[in-house]
């Protein structure tokens, strides 16, 4: 079997494992999100470097829930130069707390943090500060990978040890997944595909909860279809107090 076919089969296995083993955690997290929305609170999401791809996945897109607010500090996004700065900033003590301090997040809000290793200081700082503020915390991580690593935070904690709800992406150690004959290092991560499946499952479940209870959640139309811009403008106007990424 060719390596790319192995990767395809491996991805299917991971998605099946998530469906079989993480369903309860996904449902609990989605319930937390729908309760947050019903209580007029706010949902935030964060990930550093490649983990931040899921933050971008979750906001301002067609079919997306308008009430999910991204936290995207420039220093740990993938367009920073030199790119190695992201690794340095992820490990800087106090930086995660500072980011959250500058975010309008309050007691009763929900914060989703994505960190595959769950060991870096930025995620731990942010998680601890969130809990201190009374924020509900959902962690998306790789538990097996994280358990094998020491925390880089002074507390010694990893992300999965802090969160209210933990969702395992069921991926591989180091996130690389596919062996090619003649090469020692595995290639091709799985966390982005698995993570996108998980976070969109959260959105679907959350929206379904709200609709069943008679609440019409704000879901974006594509800006590329006729009437899409006008529809989305109405959402921005109606929910201006809870859509902070337009400020």
143-201 pLDDT, tens digit per residue, is 999 999 999 999 999 999 999 999 999 999 999 999 999 999 999 999 999 999 999 99
CA 81 to chain centre: 23
Q: What percent of the chain has pLDDT over 90?
A: 97
* pLDDT bucket at 246, cuts 50 / 70 / 90: confident
Q: How far, in Å, CA of 20 to CA of 24, rounded?
A: 9
**Which token pair is 66?**
């308008």
* pLDDT bucket at 2, cuts 50 / 70 / 90: very high
203-216 CB burial, b ≥16 within 10 A, e <16:
bebbbebbeeeeee
CATH code at position 148: 3.40.50.10490
What length is written for the chain? Answer: 247
Q: Tokens 């200081």 appear where?
A: 121
Strand-pair category, 43-47 with 165-168: unpaired
38-90 pLDDT, tens digit per residue, is 999 999 999 999 999 999 999 999 999 999 999 999 999 999 899 998 999 99
* pLDDT bucket at 1, cuts 50 / 70 / 90: confident
Domain tally, the chain: 1
The domain of 141 spans 3-246
Residues 119 and 91 sit within 8 Å (Cβ to Cβ): no
């Amino acid at each position: 079997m060719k390596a790319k076919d192995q990767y395809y089969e491996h991805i299917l296995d991971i998605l099946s494992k998530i469906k079989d083993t993480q369903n309860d955690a996904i449902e609990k997290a989605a319930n937390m999100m729908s309760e947050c929305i019903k209580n007029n609170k706010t949902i935030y999401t964060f990930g550093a470097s490649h983990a931040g791809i899921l933050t971008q996945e979750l906001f301002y897109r067609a079919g997306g829930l308008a009430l999910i607010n991204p936290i995207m500090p420039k220093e740990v996004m993938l367009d920073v130069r030199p790119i190695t700065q992201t690794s340095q900033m992820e490990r800087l003590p106090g930086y995660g707390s500072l980011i959250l301090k500058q975010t309008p997040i309050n007691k009763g809000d929900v914060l989703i943090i994505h960190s595959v290793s769950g060991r870096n200081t930025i995620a731990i700082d942010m998680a601890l500060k969130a809990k201190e503020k009374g924020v509900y915390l959902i962690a998306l991580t790789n538990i097996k990978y994280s358990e094998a690593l020491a925390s880089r935070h002074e507390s010694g904690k990893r992300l999965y040890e802090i969160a209210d709800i933990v969702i395992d992406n069921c991926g591989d150690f180091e996130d690389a997944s596919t062996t090619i004959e003649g090469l020692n290092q595995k290639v091709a991560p799985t966390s982005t595909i698995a993570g996108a499946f998980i976070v969109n499952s959260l959105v679907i479940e959350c929206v379904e909860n709200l609709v069943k209870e008679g609440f019409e959640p704000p879901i974006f139309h594509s800006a590329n279809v006729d009437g899409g811009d006008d529809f989305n403008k109405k959402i921005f106007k109606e929910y201006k107090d809870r859509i902070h990424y337009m400020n």
